[in-house]
Chain A
Amino acid sequence: MEQLKTIGRELAMGSQGGFGQSKEFLELVKSIGESRSKAEEDRIVVREIETLKRRIVEPEIPKRKMKEYIIRLLYVEMLGHDASFGHIHAVKMTHDDNLLSKRTGYLAVTLFLNDHHDLIILIVNTIQKDLKSDNYLVVCAALNAVCRLINDETIPAVLPSVVDLLSHPRDAVRKKAVMALHHFHLKSPSSVSHLTSSFRKKLSDNDPGVMGASLCPLFDLVALDPNSYKDLVVSFVSILKQVAEHRLPKTYDYHHIPAPFIQIKLLKILALLGSGDKQASEHMYTVIGEIVRKGDSSSNIGNAILYECICCIASIYPNAKLLEAAADVNAKFLKSDSHNLKYMGIDALGRLIKISPHVAEQHQLAVIDCLEDPDDTLKRKTFELLYKMTKSSNVEVIVDRMIDYMISISDDHYKTYIASRCVELAEQFAPSNHWFIQTMNKVFEHAGDLVNIKVAHNLMRLIGEGFGEDAATADSQLRSSAVESYLRIIGEPKLPSAFLQVICWVLGEYGTADGKYSASYITGKLCDIAEAYSNDETVKAYAISALTKVYAFEIAAGRKVDMLSECQSFVEELLASSSTDLQQRAYELQALIGLDAQAVETIIPQDASCEDIEVDKNLSFLNGYVQQSLERGAQPYVPEDERDGMVNVSNFRSQDQHESAHGLRFEAYEVPKPPMPSKVVPVSLSSSTDLVPVPEALYSRETHQVSSVGASETAGSSELRLKLDGVQKKWGRPTYSSPGSSSSNSSSQNPANGVTQMDVATVVNSKSRDSYDTRKQRIEISPEKQKLAASLFGGSTKTEKRSSTSNKIPKSSVSAADRTQESKAAVVPSEVSREKTNRQTPPPPELLDLGEPSDTVAPPTLDPFKQLEGLLDPNISTSINHSGAAVTNTPDIMSFYAETPASRESGSGGYNIPVSGDNVNLLSELSNAAARGTTEETTMTSLPQSVKGPNVKDALQKDAKVRQMGVTPSGQNPNLFSDLLG
């Protein structure tokens, strides 16, 4: 009986006028329909491909046959097999004069090719010809292809013809032409930018279909730049009004609703135009109110319109009445039994609470219901809503819920997403540190491999730094609670690597700090970890570092260290490790144990993880030695790459040459100089302040150069420029001025600097007394300022954290304005952080007995905001930095830093931005990793969800599932015969 029915169907279809498929094709379709497994289906398809490959190249195939082959190819490709060998034949078919073949050819190419396929170039000519055809069906077929295949390179070839078609007598053609232009706009907005007026004209086309189509490009144009289309608000509103009043032909009614799709599109456009514009919004209130009032909430399409109304109301300038109406509609959605409507209701609620937060209150129960619904889609949408609703008062509940859900799901893609959300919320709203650490522990435990490693680093930093609060006891309590919780967690099997790293680090730093646990206990635990995860080198590295620290603290405290046997074997294992990093760490540990308490304490002081290391790249501590050697008549060192360029320079001037080899300085010091390096001390003392004009000139030139480079670039580079300014403010000045202060107190001189000062001293006459005094004043203030800056820094990192995390960059729709703002903010902490660096830099030992008040900690008296302003203002900031450098007594480093970018800048114009920008990076990284971490993290979190595909495991699972589905034969499937609408 079934069989008969099938045959009957086939007969019916044949007579209905298929393309005259042959028996072969019918059988192919049938056999695939009856195949019992994916493998069988694949076999059939592969056989079919072989046949087609053979047949399609035969000479003189009748057109009808060829058409069928092409359709068979389509079928094969639809089933997921490669039929690229036939693409060229489809292209050939579009050249055919017979409309029927042409149409099939166009269908095939639109399905086979995408817009960057090599064969496109062969079709463009045909399309051009067909667009000019007399037969409107040919034109339609060509326009269909245009909408799929034309890319930004080929747009110019067809654009004129398409524009001509905008005034074609047939509405179908006009409509498709508008859509084609819409497609061009998506591909390359500039290509059709001169056509916006014709889009506006099409809005008043006689045919509603064309008008509806013109809304698509207009929507995109408005989305890009709402301000230039404000004049259309009135027209849109009047069209919407007419549509809602049934003025369009009855054929546009859909389930008794007048042209709902056009209404929705119009509402979308109005939402964009009215956003934040009171005047434009006022035009819309009446018509939207009318639509909401008349809205039909019984049908699906009616609800679609109502939902769009809510979105529009939430987007335009708020109106109390409309908001109320929207809230009522939303209540209906949420109370509905339909999951779809609940979903829409939750989504709409998320939009409404942005404007009137109290709306959510009456729906609490409905939201909770949705949260507990077994439907994942609904649940996720609800989490999205909760995420938007999170405040510091409810964060605990929400994050707990999220974590519970995160544990329960297996979809890695979403797990990553929700984990990052948890981290974000916890960082933003954590009510207590204890809670924060507990939460992070949970996140790490269950999704440790999925979260960004930055999060782990942030956590370590947080525990290490404490919370910037005064109470040191709170910090130590926090640490011991962290240690305790980690000791508890260690026992659990299969912890993620990132989490183990955190555990090891915390145990190493603070395991023995409160004296509750003995060193041997902690080291034992650490060895356990290393043993249990012996194939993870990073964890092992963390473990051995932690061991080193624990032992170092023991030694420093004067206790005798006896290594556990397991530790010893662990260390021995690492000594022979193939990883050089592990080996080095092990050797360091071994060496350290042999040292005495005092040395160890200097090497690894307790609880100093957040102090910054100043790396003296220029070996300034050797300056004294170098000076002595020079005095004894040694030749000064000249860097290798500069040795060639000074062949004909006299021996004595070689020092200057060495100096001027850095391109930027070369021009500034052309005046002859008396060669008296030994008299440096008194002269430089006075001259250092007078140097000001010279570096100033240099400085402005530098900025100018940089800005001219950056001018042509986009917002990204302007950000760079901002940072760069910071660098120059910071590094430009102290180069010249700071040696003065150090030279006044110490006899050890950097020869290079000495020369510089002296040179300038001769150029600029010394009226240094008074300026030196002012400078001295500054020096006296500076420790306070620095202290302030440091405390501000703590504060500013916090605010920075907030602002950056709450910006929700993942939406990826951050406007350019936002970005510049952000970048501005980013400059501040890096500046401040540099201050901090300076402050923390330990002064070289020989300078410790200075009269300078470098170590006095005066109470902060300055307005912190002024300080900040000062940091941003070049004039003031230079003075601050200048004095800051003087106090810290690290002029050499500064000067060399300044030289490096300068010399590179002279080297290549393109390179200078990254180099100097990099300096900012370097420093902010040193002392501001926390703040930076969060900003970076926000960008990173957005990354995985867009870039990361589902992993292999997931795909395999799903594949298996599909195969399972495919196993059931569909040949006798009665379902095939049931009407789709029945």
Chain B
Amino acid sequence: MITKPVGVVCRKTLVNRVTRLWLWLWLQLQLQLRALIRFEMIQFVLLISRQGKVRLTKWYSPYSQKERSKVIRELSGMILSRAPKQCNFVEWRGYKVVYKRYASLFFCMCIDQDDNELEVLEIIHHFVEILDRYFGSVCELDLIFNFHKAYYILDEILIAGELQESSKKTVARLIAAQDSLVETAKEEASSLSTIIAQATK
């Protein structure tokens, strides 16, 4: 008998070895598949206020509700604590999160490891400019009370995690077309002014 360090040779049963081999093969296959299938460029979009409150979330990759809250918690902790002069990128779980602060609002987008961060930074800016044009000097309150509109606008800019339209004019035209529809529909429905009257009573 000759001694050996306990761990170097695992004296396991044959069956165990076989399962381990298969597991390893399976893993290799998964890795290969992972390399083949490219996921969406933008994984998700987050708008967080300086206090860490969520203003808008859009998920392009599947995340469960539980994961979503966890991601938001993690990222807000990470991003809000960063100094203004530091770079606008954070590495997170193998992804990169690009964020930019506008007034008290942080716009974050999570992207793949080999995407162009500066480009994403400009996509964020593109989005904000369109919001600005739509709401007319947009502020956080606009987004709080009209978050669904922000969603509609975002849907015209990004689709399936990719930039869909880089012309501001085209986006504005589409949104306007949809809104005109809303206006006509609204008139059919009960007038809005009565509601406002109620609200301000």
Contacts and interface: CB of A to CB of B under 8 A. Distances in A.
Contact of B38 (A186, A819, A950, A961): A186
B85 A78 contact: no
A598 interface: no
B181 A344 contact: no
A280 B135 CA distance: 47
Contacts of B7: 453, 456-457, 460, 501
Contact of B119 (A6, A261, A917, A954): A261
A186 B141 contact: no
A611 interface: yes
Interface string B176-190: 011101110110011
Contacts of B39: 186
Interface in A72-126: 74-75, 77-80, 82, 98-100, 103-104, 107, 110-111, 114-116
B165 A175 contact: yes
A413 B145 contact: no
B183 A17 contact: yes
A340 B121 contact: yes
Contacts of B119: 260-261, 264, 301, 304, 308
Contact of B62 (A33, A116, A914, A945): A116
A914 B192 contact: no
B160 A147 contact: yes
B53 A970 contact: yes
Nearest to B60: A148
Contacts of B122: 254, 260-261, 300-301, 304
A21 interface: yes
Contact of B192 (A15, A100, A212, A342): A15
Interface in B83-137: 83, 85-91, 93-94, 102-105, 116-119, 121-123, 125-126, 128-129, 131-132, 135, 137
Contact of B185 (A99, A453, A814): A99
A549 interface: yes
Given A343-B87, A977-B139, A981-B129, A608 B65 contact: no
A939 B28 contact: yes
Contacts of A99: 181, 185
B144 A980 contact: no
A375 B198 contact: no
B95 to A, nearest CB: 10
Contact of B1 (A224, A604, A961, A977): A604
Interface stretch (A483-491, A699-707, A919-927): A919-927
Interface string A712-725: 00111101100000
A183 B77 CA distance: 32
Interface stretch (A22-30, A439-447, A639-647, A674-682): A22-30
A408 interface: no
A186 B51 contact: no
Given A17-B179, A107-B151, A980-B131, A79 B105 contact: no
B76 interface: yes
A75 B147 contact: yes
A168 interface: no
A538 B149 CA distance: 59
Interface in A809-837: 809, 812-816, 819
Given A20-B192, A377-B89, A340 B117 contact: yes
Contact of A958 (B78, B116, B146, B192): B78
Given A176-B159, A966-B53, A220 B38 contact: yes
A86 B11 CA distance: 55
A962 B87 contact: no
Given A98-B185, A339-B86, A918-B21, A979 B137 contact: yes
Given A100-B182, A182-B160, A813-B35, A78 B147 contact: yes
B181 A100 contact: yes
Nearest to B96: A377
A263 to B, nearest CB: 10
B86 A259 contact: no
B34 A812 contact: yes
B185 to A, nearest CB: 4
B104 A978 contact: yes
Given A375-B86, A505-B5, A251 B118 contact: no
A968 interface: yes
Given A261-B166, A377-B91, A223 B38 contact: yes
Given A375-B87, A970-B53, A111 B151 contact: yes
A307 interface: yes
A942 B152 contact: no
Given A80-B69, A223-B38, A816-B32, A377 B90 contact: yes
A717 to B, nearest CB: 7
A961 B69 contact: no
Interface in B24-67: 24-29, 31-32, 34-40, 49-54, 56-60, 62-63, 65
Interface in A594-609: 602-605, 608-609
Contact of A955 (B74, B146, B174, B192): B74
B189 A64 contact: yes
A648 B63 CA distance: 66
A16 B135 CA distance: 9
B96 to A, nearest CB: 9
B196 A980 contact: no
A742 interface: no
Contact of A460 (B8, B26, B137, B149): B8
Contacts of B131: 980
Given A98-B185, A111-B58, A262-B166, A981 B117 contact: no
Contacts of A79: 54
Contact of B182 (A17, A377, A979): A17
A339 B98 CA distance: 13
A322 to B, nearest CB: 18
A641 B40 CA distance: 56
A162 interface: no
Nearest to B62: A114
Nearest to A506: B5
Contact of A965 (B6, B52, B137, B141): B52
- Most B CB atoms within 10 A — which of A78, A180, A457, A816? A78
Contacts of B181: 99-100, 137
Contacts of B77: 957-959, 961-962
Interface string A14-56: 1111111111001001000100000000000000000000000
A917 B21 contact: yes
Contacts of B49: 970
Contacts of A340: 87-89, 117-118, 121
Contact of B196 (A11, A213, A926, A973): A11
B102 A966 contact: no
A914 B147 contact: no
Contact of B27 (A98, A183, A939, A954): A939
Given A26-B145, A812-B35, A609 B28 contact: no
27 contacts: A9-B141, A20-B186, A29-B145, A103-B178, A107-B151, A115-B62, A147-B159, A148-B60, A186-B39, A209-B166, A220-B38, A260-B122, A338-B87, A339-B85, A339-B87, A460-B8, A609-B3, A719-B25, A814-B35, A921-B21, A946-B94, A965-B50, A965-B76, A966-B51, A976-B104, A977-B140, A979-B137
Given A254-B166, A979-B137, 20 more contacts: A17-B179, A18-B146, A26-B199, A74-B148, A179-B164, A182-B160, A209-B170, A212-B166, A213-B165, A301-B119, A339-B88, A374-B86, A377-B90, A505-B5, A602-B1, A816-B32, A917-B21, A921-B21, A954-B74, A980-B102
Interface of B: 1-10, 14, 17-18, 20-22, 24-29, 31-32, 34-40, 49-54, 56-60, 62-63, 65, 68-70, 72-74, 76-78, 80-81, 83, 85-91, 93-94, 102-105, 116-119, 121-123, 125-126, 128-129, 131-132, 135, 137-142, 144-149, 151-152, 155, 159-160, 162-170, 174, 177-179, 181-183, 185-186, 189-190, 192-193, 195-196, 198-200
| For the complex of A and B, 5 pairs with smallest distance between CB atoms | A975-B104, A304-B118, A958-B77, A339-B87, A980-B102
